[in-house]
Structure 1
Amino acid sequence: MTGGRRAESWVGRTVEAEVGPVAHGGHCVSRVEGRVVFVRHALPGELVLAEVTEDRGGGFCRADAVRVLRSSPHRVEPVCPLAAPGLCGGCDWQHATPQAQRELKAQVVAEQLRRLAGLDLAVEVEALPGGPLGWRSRVRLVVDPAGRPGLRAHRSHRVIPLAGCPISVPGALDEALTGGWRPGSELEVTADAAGRTHLRELAPARGGAAGRGRHRARQIQGGVAVQYAAGREWRIAAHGFWQVHPAAADTLATVVGEWAGARRGGRAWDLYAGVGLFASVLAEQVGPGGEVLAVESGRRAVADGEANLADLPQVTWRAGRVEQVLDQRDDRPEVVVLDPPRKGAGAAVVEAVARATPDRVVYVACDPAALARDVATFAGHGYSLARLRAFDAFPMTHHVECVALLTRD
């Protein structure tokens, strides 16, 4: 901004950029002519030509590396031709080795904890079984005006039609990618642990402006998915919440159980309980004489949870927003498990948990920035981060799953 006039937009301009450290969100940081440039399809230490794709007139802009002048030793050829500038936005790191991807994610987790929570920790991101491809069991596709399903380009509504997806469970998208769907509809695909594929079409609702953003669901295949985790079989709504990576649910349940350590006959809370994966672990620990409160806002998830955990009467379900349910409680749990959505638990929930003075809080997080913010809030209420594990539950993307143990000072 000069003399009250907005500077000329850099969109479409190609700049030479020395690529700096990784940043949260699947890009790296560079500086060009005094401006921060977030560059996708690049790796730290590279020299690239980057085309600016977004410039809103502030101190930073976004760009895609369109040519690599000096490459990183960790660069590889993407397995999917659509993992390229201007194309599919589903993957962020196909151009890096799996080990390098995990190291980049570890740097992001550590940086968020340092910047937002004031903690200086060494972080390792652990691989899950199965490798970096063929893991994605749940996919949401968008249908373009020609009736072809695909995924959106990065930070765009533009649909990139797919012929296949190497990170998805093999064969899961076969029926969905046949084409001929209603333009503007969305397709939800779930591959369950029993080898079945569940497909649902969400067609745009009629009604013009009043119907915008609404969809009518049409089940094509299946409706109840079978999953296995924590030593149990789960029968749940096919398109409800469940971990995307086939190994994630059991891995997380194991870590939560180890760190929760609920005593026999004790009391525990499972907040944002979903269908009760962690509640089942807590219930086995406290036994028939103990109590587990499971709180979940999704009523179908609560119904599925009640049905799947009918053999565990020590689990009591409450449907509603976590902060509202906790406002009505005056009991004291010894351990609390938190598995909030991507935005995190937030100050109101953290403060409500802290008021209950549990000895331990086990926090499962899919966003490191949200985790760091909530860890900082817990610190203000006398809780310290005692342990942290991170898992590459979303290979080829920038997402990472963390489990944190917080203990009362």
Structure 2
Amino acid sequence: MSENWAGRRLELEVGSVAHGGHCVSRVDGRVVFVRHALPGELVVAEVTEDKGKSFCRADAVRVLRPSPDRVEPPCPSAGPGLCGGCDWQHATPEAARALKADVVAEQLQRLAGITWPVTVEELRPAPLRWRTRTRFVAGEGGKAGLRAHHSHRVIPLDDCPITMPEAAGAVLSRTWRRGSEIEVTEDGAGRVHLRQDTRQLKGGVAKERAAGRSWRLSSHGFWQGHPAAADALAGVVGEWAAASPGQRAWDLYAGVGIFASVLAGQVGEEGSVLAVESGRRAVADGESNLADLPQVGWRCGRVEHVLSTLEEQVDVVVLDPPRKGAGKQVVDAIAAAEAHRVVYVACDPAALARDVATFAGHGYSLRELRAFDAFPMTHHVECVALLSRSY
């Protein structure tokens, strides 16, 4: 085994961005993934993790030659060894979006063999005070904060500049039982909902608006964290799904049914929409919110299990899988149902690229792609892809 580099300081020329909020450098034949750096910089980096493989991880602790895109982080807790909640506070918002675009393009090229120009579109508000849902944890002395990168260590915070101010203040202005997880939501009506571990302290039912409808749902259930994201994604899904009256559609990983509502408006009462979701509370919220749309039917269960019981054909499929992606079993089932159009909403570009490659094996081609900066200051990016079969 080679020498363990943990704690070692290296002078590095920083290379291209990589998926995960870091950049790539190489030293003595090894890859070094460097956080808190930007492409083209010369930095001193301290190795934070070395498991004896062909790569290690490091933080840029001193910048010898800064990038013109470097700025002072707006949060004093953003930096080496500090809060792991953000990745790109040291870059201009424009530069951060360009880095995310490079990551999406690189993943499509490397994992799906597709060359595609990518632009990450801004959503407002940005880059601060956009996060409506945050999970804090109480550390020493009951002070709440967020964990350090790749660590259970809690970094106490007086404020979280990416979180909505009322939501941040509701948690960070008081002390908690050490080890508690505190979830806070500021909904579309401006109300703050607070839960400590499993105990609801305030609120509980959130009010939101998206896709031309009002929604009531569990305040700590799934909803896009950025206040503009749900509406932006629903708009693209509606445009690309383009379902016709009387057609069949599936909304997979449906949540409370935002996309199902869009599809229902397109297929009309003569068509049908099957919404599949594994979360029981989300299904209950969805059934309640879409009670006026009889063409929407719900199935509660894991998507791959539900699809294995279906023998029907489908015209249009919308899917919004978790970070790991849909996977081969789900893609195979969609292809077997002979879907003409597939609209794929993705929160992880690597998972998207892997599934696009699997779809390609069934004759589906990538037709359109849009990417949104739904998570400013972090490395996360939301993509929507349109795939269709060539006949």
Please tell me whether residue 395 in structure 1 is matched to residue 390 in structure 2.
Answer: no
Check the 8 A contact 2:166/2:186 in 1, yes or no.
Answer: no
Query: How does the TM-score come out when normalised to structure 2?
Result: 0.99
- After superposition, the C-alpha distances for 1:73-119 in whole angstroms (9 at most, x for unaligned) are 10000000111000000000000000100100000000000000000
Please tell me whether residue 64 in structure 1 is matched to residue 59 in structure 2.
Answer: yes
Please tell me whether residue 273 in structure 1 is matched to residue 254 in structure 2.
Answer: yes
Task: State the Cα distance separating 1:8 from its structure 2 match.
Answer: 2.0
- Percent identity, aligned pairs only? 72
Equivalent residue of 2:369, what SS?
Answer: strand
* Residue of 182, 197, 217 corresponding to 1:236: 217
State how far apart, in whole Å, the 1-side matches of 2:256 and 2:352 are. 22
State how far apart, in whole Å, the 1-side matches of 2:88 and 2:361 are. 36
Equivalent residue of 1:173, what SS?
Answer: helix
Runs of 4+ in 1 over 3 A off after TM superposition: none
Match of 2:92 in 1: 97
Check the 8 A contact 2:87/2:379 in 1, yes or no.
Answer: yes
Please tell me whether residue 150 in structure 1 is matched to residue 145 in structure 2.
Answer: yes
Task: State the Cα distance separating 1:308 from its structure 2 match.
Answer: 0.2
Aligned-pair Cα RMSD in Å: 0.7
Task: State the Cα distance separating 1:328 from its structure 2 match.
Answer: 1.1
Q: How does 1:10-409 map to 2 (within 5 A)?
A: 10-202=5-197, 217-409=198-390
State how far apart, in whole Å, the 1-side matches of 2:118 and 2:308 are. 35
Equivalent residue of 2:321, what SS?
Answer: coil
- After superposition, the C-alpha distances for 1:331-383 in whole angstroms (9 at most, x for unaligned) are 11110001000000001100011100110000000000000000000000111
State how far apart, in whole Å, the 2-side matches of 1:16 and 1:348 are. 46
- After superposition, the C-alpha distances for 1:146-201 in whole angstroms (9 at most, x for unaligned) are 21111000000000001001111122121211333111110001110000010000
Equivalent residue of 1:251, what SS?
Answer: helix
State the AA in 2 paired with 1:335. V
Query: How does the TM-score come out when normalised to structure 1?
Result: 0.95
State how far apart, in whole Å, the 1-side matches of 2:315 and 2:248 are. 6
State how far apart, in whole Å, the 2-side matches of 1:180 and 1:366 are. 33
State how far apart, in whole Å, the 2-side matches of 1:36 and 1:345 are. 30
Moved more, 220-229 or 172-181: 172-181
State the AA in 2 paired with 1:350. V
- After superposition, the C-alpha distances for 1:279-312 in whole angstroms (9 at most, x for unaligned) are 0000011111110000000000000000000000
Task: State the Cα distance separating 1:327 from its structure 2 match.
Answer: 1.0
- After superposition, the C-alpha distances for 1:222-274 in whole angstroms (9 at most, x for unaligned) are 00000000000000000000000000000000000000001011110000000
State how far apart, in whole Å, the 2-side matches of 1:8 and 1:29 are. 20
Equivalent residue of 2:261, what SS?
Answer: helix
* Residue of 4, 7, 19 corresponding to 1:9: 4
State how far apart, in whole Å, the 1-side matches of 2:175 and 2:162 are. 24
Equivalent residue of 2:142, what SS?
Answer: coil
Match of 1:208 in 2: none
State how far apart, in whole Å, the 2-side matches of 1:121 and 1:29 are. 22
State how far apart, in whole Å, the 2-side matches of 1:149 and 1:80 are. 16
State the AA in 2 paired with 1:100. A
State how far apart, in whole Å, the 1-side matches of 2:312 and 2:30 are. 53
Unaligned runs of 5+ in 1: 1-5, 203-216
Equivalent residue of 1:146, what SS?
Answer: helix
